[in-house]
């Protein structure tokens, strides 16, 4: 090898099917140095990581998982476009990652890759599982049969990685096949079969534990019950079990605010730190318990192999509205947050199904709605028990979740039959054996989800909290001297920028039972739903320093009627408004990124706002009529 070849960095493309262990291997090779990258004009992003091995730099490109190089959709075409050098410099070498237990199928894909003529090596993962399942593989013989380097690794335990790094550093030295595999599908299958016969003395049997588990997990009755139980578990996790940690954060934020007020002299700086900055940070951090718990479960179940089963169980139902089981996983993720949910829609091969999933994902009850629901339900729905531990408050919350989910289904069915009607791509989904995710990979995934929330959503929420504080504080109008202190605060707020905006939209939202204060909240929550809680907190803290927000809104009297402002009709209308409206800048931003246009986020925002207003108005009228 020449010195020049030694100096030039290697661009290595990592190829493989979903479930091949490609991502685990990529993480093991690059650690935390990987970056998410985008090709211009392409909606699918990929990860790249640069490593140093054997004195050489290797840029590893983790390409989207695929079973085939013949693309059926523009997203699938990304892989072959990268290999052709259409999007960036073409990779110098390719590593095909394949699960040793499904080698026969993987050889069909490898054959396609080999026919391209780029230096290629084969990396076999799960070799430990192959042996555990009674399979025996003659790696040197496979190497000879294929004519390319073959290496077995156990990615999650880091076995074989040193040798792999060494191999990847010198693709110039890789053996090339003497004879390319056949192109014709049948001849290619014969080629794969004959190679397998010569290298595998015994085939791995199907995993016994997987067989046994699947008999329960996919059983018509037990499997359906398990599916329902897992969904209930998700509810409990985010609504009940995240509670203690959230209360703790709440108390901490409250204490910090009080500390600032006690330490600093009263004035603008003290107000800014206590009401603006600390409260703003609090409204971001408060979500971390839910997000960590939810993503902890989601990533565990996905790595374990249950999410594919869940998609299998629910596919028929999703198929009826024109979607597929994998949309369910994306919509389920949207229960935590539509941002990762919309990103998870990437795994849906059909571009149309993917777009429909993205457009209805905001209807799923994300965790940002929870503070709004919790506040209103906690303040206005009596905590009476209905049956045993099940209370009216919980049932109301469940009802809101259901309304969101049912509306998402309805919207999807309508979209698939109207503006997004068209031909279907074939549906197929591998059911991998159950595997226990490793702690390291799981931790990395959960941490990166939490980090993504802090970075993508957190920064926006914090910024908006700051802007809001400014809108609510300035201009600092001077109330008439005769007013008592809390009325003076209320006067100042009403004459602030935000107060004026609230007043401006009041005529439009009056039919829903909302006053200018809710108007301010709605305007503010266009940036992110939970901001309305912070806003109302600021509004009511300003006009009523004593008592919690819950007490404050319960006791608020509409000056025009002399009645409580929050009538049952208004509370119901507000809850329904939040079920439908797409009040989340982060969601719009991620939609923009995933669809590569502002058109779709604008469409989603528009149709959901109309739906929210209409449903909210209908609810207000109905409840008013019923309580009259």
Partner 1 sequence: MSVALPAFPLPEPTPEPEGVPLCDVAPGAAGVIESVDAAAAIAGRLLDLGFVPGTAVRVIRRAPLGDPVVYELRGYRICLRRSEASHILVRPA
Site string for partner 1, 85-104 (x = CB under 8 A): ----------------xxxx
Joined together, the tokens standing for residue 496 give: 């602030």
Give backbone dihedrals phi and psi of 359, rounded to 5 degrees, phi first: -70, -25
The beta-strand segments (E) located in 259-307 are none
248 or 317: CB nearest partner 1: 317
Strand 56-62 relative to strand 93-99, pairing: unpaired
Could you tell me the smallest distance in angstroms from the CB atom of residue 76 to partner 1? 10
Q: Which residue do the tokens 């990685």 mark?
A: 161
Sheet with 150-152: strands ordered across: 35-37, 46-53, 56-62, 10-16, 93-99, 120-125, 150-152
Choose the stretch contacting partner 1; rule: CB under 8 A; options: 66-74, 166-174, 482-490, 568-576: 66-74
68 or 596: CB nearest partner 1: 68
Determine if 424 is a binding residue for partner 1 (CB under 8 A). yes
Could you tell me the smallest distance in angstroms from the CB atom of residue 437 to partner 1? 19
Q: How far apart are the first and last CA of the chain?
A: 89
Could you tell me the smallest distance in angstroms from the CB atom of residue 123 to partner 1? 18
Determine if 231 is a binding residue for partner 1 (CB under 8 A). no
What are the angstrom distances between the C-alpha of 280 and each of 254, 524, 533? Answer: 12, 13, 11
Paired strand residues for 564:
557
Question: How far apart (Å, rounded) are the C-alpha atoms in residues 431 and 481?
Answer: 73
104 or 271: CB nearest partner 1: 104
Could you tell me the smallest distance in angstroms from the CB atom of residue 444 to partner 1? 27
Name the 3-class secondary structure at 36.
strand
**From the list 430, 454, 467, 592, which residue makes contact with partner 1 (rule: CB under 8 A)?**
430
Q: Are the beta carbons of 553 and 544 closer than 8 angstroms?
A: no
Output the CA angle 9-11-17, nearest 5 degrees. 155
Determine if 330 is a binding residue for partner 1 (CB under 8 A). no
Q: Which residue do the tokens 């077995």 mark?
A: 152
Joined together, the tokens standing for residue 5 give: 């070849």
Determine if 350 is a binding residue for partner 1 (CB under 8 A). no
Cβ-based burial of 588 (10 A; exposed 0-12, middle 13-18, buried ≥19): buried
Could you tell me the smallest distance in angstroms from the CB atom of residue 108 to partner 1? 6
Determine if 315 is a binding residue for partner 1 (CB under 8 A). yes
**From the list 41, 266, 388, 426, which residue makes contact with partner 1 (rule: CB under 8 A)?**
426
Give the count of residues interacting with partner 1 (CB under 8 A). 42
Determine if 561 is a binding residue for partner 1 (CB under 8 A). no
Choose the stretch contacting partner 1; rule: CB under 8 A; options: 65-73, 446-454, 592-600, 615-623: 65-73
150 or 372: CB nearest partner 1: 150
Could you tell me the smallest distance in angstroms from the CB atom of residue 73 to partner 1? 10
Determine if 327 is a binding residue for partner 1 (CB under 8 A). no
Could you tell me the smallest distance in angstroms from the CB atom of residue 204 to partner 1? 7
Could you tell me the smallest distance in angstroms from the CB atom of residue 101 to partner 1? 7
Determine if 112 is a binding residue for partner 1 (CB under 8 A). yes
Sequence-distant (6+) residues with CB within 8 A of 602 are none
Side-chain half-sphere CA neighbours of 209 within 13 A: 10
141 or 203: CB nearest partner 1: 203
256 or 429: CB nearest partner 1: 429
Cβ-based burial of 353 (10 A; exposed 0-12, middle 13-18, buried ≥19): buried
Q: Does 224 sit behind a cis peptide bond, omega within 30 degrees of 0 on the bond before it?
A: no
The beta-strand segments (E) located in 107-164 are 120-125, 136-137, 150-152
Determine if 375 is a binding residue for partner 1 (CB under 8 A). no
Sequence-distant (6+) residues with CB within 8 A of 91 are 11, 12, 13, 61, 82, 83, 118
Determine if 341 is a binding residue for partner 1 (CB under 8 A). no
**Number of neighbours of residue 610 by Cβ within 10 angstroms:** 12
Determine if 68 is a binding residue for partner 1 (CB under 8 A). yes
Determine if 109 is a binding residue for partner 1 (CB under 8 A). yes
Name the 3-class secondary structure at 162.
helix
Could you tell me the smallest distance in angstroms from the CB atom of residue 325 to partner 1? 8
427 or 598: CB nearest partner 1: 427
173 or 202: CB nearest partner 1: 202
Determine if 627 is a binding residue for partner 1 (CB under 8 A). no
Q: Are the beta carbons of 623 and 573 closer than 8 angstroms?
A: yes
Q: Are the beta carbons of 498 and 468 closer than 8 angstroms?
A: yes
Question: How far apart (Å, rounded) are the C-alpha atoms in residues 42 and 193?
Answer: 37
56 or 133: CB nearest partner 1: 133
Phi-psi region for residue 118, left (φ > 0), alpha (ψ -120 to 50) or beta? beta
**From the list 428, 439, 484, 562, which residue makes contact with partner 1 (rule: CB under 8 A)?**
428
185 or 390: CB nearest partner 1: 185
- Of 339, 370, 306, 386, the C-alpha closest to 579 is 370
**From the list 317, 402, 421, 622, which residue makes contact with partner 1 (rule: CB under 8 A)?**
317
Q: What is the per-residue burial (b if ≥16 Cβ within 10 Å, else e) of 181-203?
A: beeeeeebbebbeebbeebbeeb
249 or 425: CB nearest partner 1: 425
Site string for partner 1, 174-213 (x = CB under 8 A): -----------xx-xxx------------xx-x-------
Sequence-distant (6+) residues with CB within 8 A of 371 are 286, 530, 533
Determine if 288 is a binding residue for partner 1 (CB under 8 A). no
Determine if 214 is a binding residue for partner 1 (CB under 8 A). yes
Q: What's CA 463's distance to the chain center, in Å?
A: 22
Q: Which residue do the tokens 């979500």 mark?
A: 287
**From the list 157, 201, 427, 602, which residue makes contact with partner 1 (rule: CB under 8 A)?**
427
Choose the stretch contacting partner 1; rule: CB under 8 A; options: 219-227, 351-359, 366-374, 411-419: 219-227
Could you tell me the smallest distance in angstroms from the CB atom of residue 166 to partner 1? 30
69 or 281: CB nearest partner 1: 69
Determine if 313 is a binding residue for partner 1 (CB under 8 A). yes
Could you tell me the smallest distance in angstroms from the CB atom of residue 516 to partner 1? 49
171 or 181: CB nearest partner 1: 181
Name the residues that contact partner 1, by CB under 8 A: 67-68, 70, 72, 101-105, 108-109, 112, 185-186, 188-190, 203-204, 206, 214, 218-221, 223-224, 312-313, 315-317, 319, 325, 424-431
């Amino acid at each position: 090898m020449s010195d020049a070849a030694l100096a030039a960095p290697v661009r290595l493309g990592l190829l493989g099917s979903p479930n091949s262990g490609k991502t685990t291997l990529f993480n093991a090779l690059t650690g935390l140095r990987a970056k998410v990258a985008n090709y211009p004009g392409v909606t699918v992003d990929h990860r790249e990581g640069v490593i140093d091995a054997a004195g050489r730099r290797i840029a590893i490109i983790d390409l989207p998982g695929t079973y085939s190089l013949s693309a059926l959709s523009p997203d699938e075409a990304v892989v072959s476009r990268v290999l052709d050098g259409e999007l960036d410099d073409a990779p110098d070498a390719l590593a095909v990652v394949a699960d040793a237990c499904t080698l026969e199928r993987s050889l069909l894909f490898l054959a396609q890759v080999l026919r391209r003529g780029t230096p290629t090596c084969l990396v076999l993962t799960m070799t430990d599982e192959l042996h555990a399942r009674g399979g025996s593989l003659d790696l040197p013989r496979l190497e000879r049969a294929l004519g390319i380097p073959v290496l077995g690794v156990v990615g999650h335990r880091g076995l074989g990685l040193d040798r792999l790094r060494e191999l990847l550093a010198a693709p110039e030295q890789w053996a090339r096949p003497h004879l390319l595999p056949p192109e014709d599908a049948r001849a290619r299958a014969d080629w794969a079969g004959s190679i397998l016969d010569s290298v595998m003395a015994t085939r791995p049997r199907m995993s016994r534990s997987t067989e046994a588990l699947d008999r329960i997990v996919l059983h018509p009755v037990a499997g359906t019950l398990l599916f329902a139980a897992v969904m209930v578990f998700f509810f409990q996790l985010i609504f009940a079990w995240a509670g203690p940690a959230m209360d703790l954060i709440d108390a901490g934020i409250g204490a910090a605010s009080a500390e600032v007020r006690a330490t600093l002299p009263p004035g603008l700086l003290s107000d800014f730190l206590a009401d603006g900055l600390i409260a703003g940070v609090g409204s971001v951090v408060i979500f971390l318990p839910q997000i960590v718990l939810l993503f902890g479960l989601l990533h565990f179940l996905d790595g374990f192999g249950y999410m594919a089963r869940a998609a299998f169980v629910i596919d028929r139902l999703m198929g009826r509205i024109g979607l597929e089981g994998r949309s369910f996983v994306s919509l389920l993720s949207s229960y935590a947050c539509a941002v990762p949910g919309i990103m998870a829609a990437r795994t849906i091969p059909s571009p149309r199904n993917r777009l429909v999933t993205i457009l209805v994902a905001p209807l799923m009850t994300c965790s940002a709605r929870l503070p709004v629901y919790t506040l209103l339900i906690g303040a206005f729905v009596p905590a009476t028990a209905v049956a045993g531990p099940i209370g009216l408050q919980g049932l109301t919350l469940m009802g809101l979740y259901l309304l969101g989910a049912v509306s998402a289904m309805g919207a999807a069915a309508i979209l698939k039959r109207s503006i997004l009607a068209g031909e279907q791509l074939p549906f197929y989904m591998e059911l991998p054996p159950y595997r226990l995710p490793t702690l390291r990979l799981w931790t990395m995934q959960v941490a990166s989800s939490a980090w993504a929330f802090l970075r993508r959503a957190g920064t926006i929420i914090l910024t908006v909290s700051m802007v809001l504080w400014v809108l609510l504080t300035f201009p600092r109008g001077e109330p008439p001297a005769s007013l008592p202190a809390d009325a003076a605060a209320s006067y100042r707020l009403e004459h602030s920028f935000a107060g004026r905006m609230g007043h401006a939209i009041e005529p439009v939202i009056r039919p829903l039972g909302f006053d200018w204060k809710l108007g301010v909240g709605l305007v503010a929550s266009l940036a992110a739903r939970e901001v309305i809680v912070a806003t109302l907190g600021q509004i009511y803290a300003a006009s009523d320093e004593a008592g919690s927000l819950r007490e404050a809104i319960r006791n608020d009297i509409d000056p025009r009627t002399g009645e409580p402002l929050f009538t049952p009709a208004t509370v119901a209308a507000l809850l329904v408004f939040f079920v439908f409206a797409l009040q989340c800048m982060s969601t719009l931003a991620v939609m923009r990124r995933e669809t590569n246009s502002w058109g779709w986020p604008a469409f989603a925002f528009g149709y959901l706002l109309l739906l929210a207003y209409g449903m909210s108005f209908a609810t207000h009228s109905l409840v008013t009529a019923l309580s009259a």
